[in-house]
Structure 1
């Protein structure tokens, strides 16, 4: 917990207080964990005296797996050393003399340690800062009571795990003490046993004495021997009891170890892997791997201590064999402890950074594997090599069922071998595959309607670890999340659908890579919302109204009631195998087209709330007809993938007094690569208010392109503007603001047919967005559209000078 300094605690957050100030207020176990982050690799004094400077640097901007970033890391190292030397020089007076020497020493130490590997310094500091931030956040939530129920549950679970570790530590210490007592008792027993042998030898040598002397001496020795033998008999029984008691204590400790290990590996680690999988859909990957590693290392320590104790018991038993079941009991204990450590090592070989789940051939990709107990078990003393191969779904099933002892491959990965490296600063043992490339892929026979973008593979990482100086050798394997292999960018859309469905709906412990064929609509909405928010980098995801719009599209329904869709299910075929009614694309292809358009060109406008987007044509008409002329809104095209259109209300130029809702031919990413949405809206003077009543300049002015500069070297630069002939009027500047472009004086290029303005239901051949309704004319319409979108010859208002 954090110390509560005069009610300051509730206001603690990173924006108002430096992280280091907060870290210094940690208490108890949190303070101990924070202090453990520092050492010779990075002294805590450096963190203290350069706290503000350290927290202002962009450590996260350095890609640790990219060797090209080494120059950036080197600059950070040099700047850190310079700051430290500067801080040392500022120390004066008697009190500052020792500090001056110490800081200077640390500057030299850091320089010599990291000069040849500056990326390791960045890795170290990132680890420290992220760990501090986690500890402070947990302590703040616990102290202020502001944590949600999930955080409370998490804290309780962590507290239970830490309490169990304390019990295990005490139990292991107790068996260690009992083992020492047993060893001392046995050593004394052996001494007395040797004494008994010596007495027997003396008795045997009495034959050389006179009868009188022999009788007197023999009586004394016989009495002494009887006493010793009686003691040996009693002590042998005591030793047997000590051994059996110790064996029972070890059995209890091993049961606790197994329970704790199951909790960490089968629950905490599985949950971490689940969060990692959801992160593939845009979910928050909360980290927590360092906490898991600390638990696994504690397990490794305790398991190894108990194993060594059992080995010492075996040695004592061999040294002094006594009747009883000890040999059998110790053999069972040894087998159990070996099983426990085997499960720990094989389960903690994990993929820290997954390969891309949509994997394109002949394209470089990266991945990182890590052994969470590598440092504790000294695996790094004999650095293991990791190999990566790509296997099919069937091969993955065989591997998990142990039907395949050798790793068959379904393709060829270049640069697929890597040696694990131990990073002293963070205590991690990992292998960074930086330059892998899938050269070729061997596909299996597909079933039914399944396409190549529905076929799943996985990258298998395997290695061999030696533990305890080759005492134990483990062959370890781990599978990546499912990957879909593509050979062309046009397959990316459908491959992403396969990955999203798998990440969202895979169940723990499944057979590779089974997923449900149908899911509840709310589940799918949750997955789509997660994906959308991640791509927008914003908290503004999909609203309930947006979900209703998507449900109407998915189920061809006109209902506006969210409850009507709550119990409905959507199959994989409906999601991305069967086309929507009257369209030549699937539900997912339409949604993904929206995501791509927004991500590339319209993200700021979505985050500003300027785009309604998920509104159909009839809804737009109903909304706009209740507003003044010139009111407009932005909605996604129903008929074109990745299209957005402007709908606005205006007078019918052919019939006085009649108001109509007009729609522009949808814009696509091609259009916005020529001219931005904000500039296009600026060009159209008849657009006055963004629905419901926001002046357009108030919303879009900050995104307008600044006015063109004057002629340079005798040349005048032409300017592209969009014009809608039916609505070409002088700029009324409704909001009182200034426009960034002179729409009358500047030379412009007009595309009167490019934007296909049409009123509602004005052409029976056009659908709601200006595309041909008939499927057999779709290709013709698109061809004509392409012809009309070709740049026209520039029209000059006057001959430019200098030509």
Structure 2
């Protein structure tokens, strides 16, 4: 109810916009009397494009009707009688309207609540006396321009009516003049005396009327020319406003939509854009109708002068304006996935922002989707190709546009498309299939004003990379990320720079990382320095040293890192996937340093007490994380496979020698809330003859290093068997898979001291066989 209380405080244009949200489709009284109940319902949990959600929407509708009826029954007394009848009427009305389409009710209420929230937030920002930012300034300029256009259109309408009235009176006087001429012609049959008298009167009257007609004809011509000039001025304002909305605001919305593919903020703002485009359509159409009425008046009463050419030019100009508006506002509201796997279902939504105003839904157009190559997309934009050649076959690629009266949107929802096959072009040089870009072309045709204007509209999706196997997803995502981050507005499809400044790439990587972690904790400056060191094989820790450096696409995801068999992006994406699937809460808690190399970890831990540890990403393995601590520098990295068996928190809990998370946080303070509770006796007891086991991580090396001096000889014998197993199984490896001879020989030296005899490496391996004799 808090939202409704704030909404009622709106004033001026904001209040008008709020009131316009309601009507027969959803009465404002229902919002008022059920405010708290409405705001407490899970409207956002319903997926409007999923028909399977209809049952959930139906329950919400039934609950709404029941709540209205309950509210009606609570009314009593004389004042409550009329309200009781009204609420009962609204309950029946909503039931009747939405019973067969409950998803439309959810769509309506979601639109209302989101719009109210936006209006309240905008009003709140203004009431706090904050400085108006550039966005709100632009919006204010646009709204002011619309008011100027409204007044200009109203003025030309008034002038047109005056012209019409003047012309009608002129025609009446003209007819009067013709009547006088006819009377003069008939005087020849009268006697001379009577004829002379009447002729004198009629000639005088004729002279007066003709003089008036001559003056009025000149006045009418001036009216027409003035009105034409006013229309030309209005068209100039319309063109300027349309350029601002389509070439700036809509392009910026599309850019935000593209960056959202990399994890940027959700694009939003489409409803505001639609309201502007609808105002434009309304004003353009009004002016077009006025020009056509001027043409009709001119044809009705031809007068010497340039009016015919002027009106023809005005008609042509305004037709161009409305054509540009319609073709530019056919947009993709929900993009198809940019990494598109064949034989996999996908969805998309296209929308015509001016469809409601032009009544296109009266004869709903059909939209077709086809997939085209980069070269085909270039030809389409150059108008070199008039028909849609396809580079593949999309199933379920036809859809009729539907008008949603509650939101005023005309859109087509493709819910079950699937790419059956793809036809690839010849690749250039080192380009791989995951670098080849396609796009989904949506096109439709419809007419307005009784087939007077016919529009063929088309729009291209963001670039998509087609894959046939999940193993290609990583490299395909790199192509998409680079394109989304560095594409320029209005580019030739799908040109992107081959190299970019390192800070630009850092911004893209940070955006991707924050989005996957679902938190504000992105990549710090130290993290980005670490990535720069990895990318450029540099040892500099000064961020300024990398500001003017550039990274090419080949360095990003074509050439392997020095000494590795994977690229920079493949390593980074492996980290992102590991964090997203298993370690997100630990990153958001600040428990994972991550972007630290082996030497840095050792230097950081040297001054700390034994048992201090940190978590860093493996340099040598994609999607690996290792524990480094004061006694043993690095454990073999854990990967997704390991964490699917036992979580990081539980593995840290298992290792009793891990005491403090760097720099000095007790490990239980950080990780205890993520530990898996131990099995109680009831859970552990046998069921159907089986006892449920529990997995626990053991690192033998620590056991020997810290406990060997207190062992009995028998325990040593048993432990040496384990040492031998460790040696044979190569588990004494460091994080990079190298054999750590120095650390392993420390064990041997401890064994020598305990057994009081020299132990060679070969001798150590033979001990288990000796003990088994």
TM over 0.5, yes or no?
yes
Q: 1:309 to 1:146 in 2, by over 3 A?
A: closer
- Equivalent residue of 2:426, what SS? coil
Partner of 2:65: 81
2:636–2:735 Cα contact (<8 Å) kept:
no
Task: Kindly state the Cα deviation for residue 765 of structure 1 after the two structures are TM-superposed.
Answer: 11
Q: In structure 2, how many angstroms separate the alpha carbons of the residues matched to 1:101 and 1:129?
A: 26
Partner of 1:785: 752
Task: Kindly state the Cα deviation for residue 747 of structure 1 after the two structures are TM-superposed.
Answer: 25
Task: Kindly state the Cα deviation for residue 52 of structure 1 after the two structures are TM-superposed.
Answer: 1.5
2:748–2:761 Cα contact (<8 Å) kept:
no
Deviations 1:365-423 (A, max 9, x none): 00000000000000100100000000000000000000001111100000000000000
Partner of 1:730: none
Task: Kindly state the Cα deviation for residue 660 of structure 1 after the two structures are TM-superposed.
Answer: 4.0
Q: In structure 1, how many angstroms separate the alpha carbons of the residues matched to 2:331 and 2:757?
A: 52
Q: 1:751 to 1:106 in 2, by over 3 A?
A: farther
1:421–1:431 Cα contact (<8 Å) kept:
yes
2:690 is equivalent to residue 712 of structure 1: no
Deviations 1:608-664 (A, max 9, x none): 11111111111111111211111111110000000001111xxxxxxxxxx644211
Task: Kindly state the Cα deviation for residue 76 of structure 1 after the two structures are TM-superposed.
Answer: 1.1
Q: Out of 351, 375, 389, which is 2:332 matched to?
A: 351
Q: In structure 1, how many angstroms separate the alpha carbons of the residues matched to 2:260 and 2:501?
A: 21
Partner of 2:766: none
Q: In structure 1, how many angstroms separate the alpha carbons of the residues matched to 2:752 and 2:70?
A: 66
Query: TM-score when scaled to structure 2?
Result: 0.91
Q: In structure 2, how many angstroms separate the alpha carbons of the residues matched to 1:208 and 1:670?
A: 118
Partner of 1:723: 698
Q: 1:469 to 1:148 in 2, by over 3 A?
A: farther
Task: Kindly state the Cα deviation for residue 212 of structure 1 after the two structures are TM-superposed.
Answer: 1.0
Report the more deviating stretch, 100-109 or 546-555. 100-109
Report the more deviating stretch, 42-51 or 607-616. 42-51
Q: Number of residue pairs matched?
A: 756
1:386–1:461 Cα contact (<8 Å) kept:
yes
Deviations 1:428-484 (A, max 9, x none): 000000000000000000000000000000000000121122110000000000000
Q: 1:689 to 1:313 in 2, by over 3 A?
A: same
Q: In structure 2, how many angstroms separate the alpha carbons of the residues matched to 1:377 and 1:787?
A: 93
Q: In structure 1, how many angstroms separate the alpha carbons of the residues matched to 2:532 and 2:196?
A: 111
Partner of 1:93: 77
2:752–2:758 Cα contact (<8 Å) kept:
no
Q: 1:169 to 1:454 in 2, by over 3 A?
A: same
Q: Out of 231, 235, 240, which is 2:221 matched to?
A: 240
Report the more deviating stretch, 712-721 or 109-118. 712-721
Task: Kindly state the Cα deviation for residue 136 of structure 1 after the two structures are TM-superposed.
Answer: 1.2
Report the more deviating stretch, 33-42 or 748-757. 748-757
Deviations 1:76-102 (A, max 9, x none): 111111111111112222222111111
Q: 1:483 to 1:802 in 2, by over 3 A?
A: farther
Report the more deviating stretch, 699-708 or 315-324. 699-708
Task: Kindly state the Cα deviation for residue 129 of structure 1 after the two structures are TM-superposed.
Answer: 1.1
2:610–2:631 Cα contact (<8 Å) kept:
no
Q: CA RMSD in A?
A: 6.6
1:639–1:771 Cα contact (<8 Å) kept:
no
Q: 1:547 to 1:789 in 2, by over 3 A?
A: farther
Deviations 1:315-372 (A, max 9, x none): 0000000000000000000000000000000000000000000000000000000000
Q: 1:501 to 1:759 in 2, by over 3 A?
A: farther
Q: In structure 2, how many angstroms separate the alpha carbons of the residues matched to 1:120 and 1:604?
A: 37
1:454–1:495 Cα contact (<8 Å) kept:
yes
Task: Kindly state the Cα deviation for residue 771 of structure 1 after the two structures are TM-superposed.
Answer: 4.9
2:260–2:267 Cα contact (<8 Å) kept:
no
Task: Kindly state the Cα deviation for residue 563 of structure 1 after the two structures are TM-superposed.
Answer: 0.7
Task: Kindly state the Cα deviation for residue 45 of structure 1 after the two structures are TM-superposed.
Answer: 1.2
Partner of 2:52: 68
1:303–1:341 Cα contact (<8 Å) kept:
yes
Task: Kindly state the Cα deviation for residue 19 of structure 1 after the two structures are TM-superposed.
Answer: 1.4
Q: In structure 2, how many angstroms separate the alpha carbons of the residues matched to 1:791 and 1:491?
A: 54
Task: Kindly state the Cα deviation for residue 710 of structure 1 after the two structures are TM-superposed.
Answer: 3.9
Q: In structure 2, how many angstroms separate the alpha carbons of the residues matched to 1:786 and 1:227?
A: 137
Query: TM-score when scaled to structure 1?
Result: 0.87
Deviations 1:500-558 (A, max 9, x none): 00000000110000000010111100000000010011111111110011001000011
Unpaired segments ≥5 residues, structure 1: 1-16, 649-658, 725-739
Deviations 1:550-597 (A, max 9, x none): 001000011111111111110000000000000000000000000000
Q: 1:267 to 1:559 in 2, by over 3 A?
A: same
Unpaired segments ≥5 residues, structure 2: 700-704, 763-768
Task: Kindly state the Cα deviation for residue 796 of structure 1 after the two structures are TM-superposed.
Answer: 33
Q: In structure 1, how many angstroms separate the alpha carbons of the residues matched to 2:239 and 2:755?
A: 71
Task: Kindly state the Cα deviation for residue 759 of structure 1 after the two structures are TM-superposed.
Answer: 18
Task: Kindly state the Cα deviation for residue 712 of structure 1 after the two structures are TM-superposed.
Answer: 3.7
Partner of 2:87: 103
- Equivalent residue of 1:663, what SS? coil
Task: Kindly state the Cα deviation for residue 754 of structure 1 after the two structures are TM-superposed.
Answer: 17
- Equivalent residue of 1:109, what SS? helix
1:60–1:126 Cα contact (<8 Å) kept:
yes
Task: Kindly state the Cα deviation for residue 38 of structure 1 after the two structures are TM-superposed.
Answer: 0.9
Alignment of 1:694-713 (within 5 A): 694-708=665-679, 709-713=684-688
Q: In structure 2, how many angstroms separate the alpha carbons of the residues matched to 1:491 and 1:226?
A: 92
Task: Kindly state the Cα deviation for residue 27 of structure 1 after the two structures are TM-superposed.
Answer: 1.2
Q: Out of 724, 727, 749, which is 2:715 matched to?
A: 749
Q: 1:258 to 1:746 in 2, by over 3 A?
A: farther
Partner of 1:340: 321
Report the more deviating stretch, 93-102 or 293-302. 93-102
1:355–1:366 Cα contact (<8 Å) kept:
yes
Q: 1:534 to 1:629 in 2, by over 3 A?
A: same
Report the more deviating stretch, 22-31 or 778-787. 778-787
Q: 1:493 to 1:568 in 2, by over 3 A?
A: same
Task: Kindly state the Cα deviation for residue 697 of structure 1 after the two structures are TM-superposed.
Answer: 1.1
Q: 1:662 to 1:802 in 2, by over 3 A?
A: closer
Q: In structure 2, how many angstroms separate the alpha carbons of the residues matched to 1:754 and 1:410?
A: 65
- Equivalent residue of 2:224, what SS? helix
Task: Kindly state the Cα deviation for residue 104 of structure 1 after the two structures are TM-superposed.
Answer: 1.2
Deviations 1:652-694 (A, max 9, x none): xxxxxxx644211101001111111111111111111111111
Task: Kindly state the Cα deviation for residue 174 of structure 1 after the two structures are TM-superposed.
Answer: 0.4
1:310–1:334 Cα contact (<8 Å) kept:
yes
Task: Kindly state the Cα deviation for residue 106 of structure 1 after the two structures are TM-superposed.
Answer: 1.0
Q: In structure 1, how many angstroms separate the alpha carbons of the residues matched to 2:752 and 2:266?
A: 43
Q: In structure 2, how many angstroms separate the alpha carbons of the residues matched to 1:765 and 1:538?
A: 37
Structure with the largest fraction of helix? 2
Q: In structure 2, how many angstroms separate the alpha carbons of the residues matched to 1:789 and 1:348?
A: 87
Q: In structure 1, how many angstroms separate the alpha carbons of the residues matched to 2:95 and 2:472?
A: 49
Q: In structure 2, how many angstroms separate the alpha carbons of the residues matched to 1:431 and 1:786?
A: 80
Q: In structure 2, how many angstroms separate the alpha carbons of the residues matched to 1:502 and 1:690?
A: 39
- Equivalent residue of 2:596, what SS? coil
1:718–1:748 Cα contact (<8 Å) kept:
no
Q: In structure 1, how many angstroms separate the alpha carbons of the residues matched to 2:352 and 2:743?
A: 58
- Equivalent residue of 1:127, what SS? helix
Task: Kindly state the Cα deviation for residue 61 of structure 1 after the two structures are TM-superposed.
Answer: 1.3
Q: In structure 2, how many angstroms separate the alpha carbons of the residues matched to 1:789 and 1:274?
A: 74
Q: In structure 2, how many angstroms separate the alpha carbons of the residues matched to 1:755 and 1:692?
A: 36
1:582–1:775 Cα contact (<8 Å) kept:
no
Q: Once superposed, which parts of structure 1, at least 4 consecutive aligned residues long, lie more than 4 Å away?
A: 142-151, 740-768, 771-792, 799-803
1:714–1:802 Cα contact (<8 Å) kept:
no
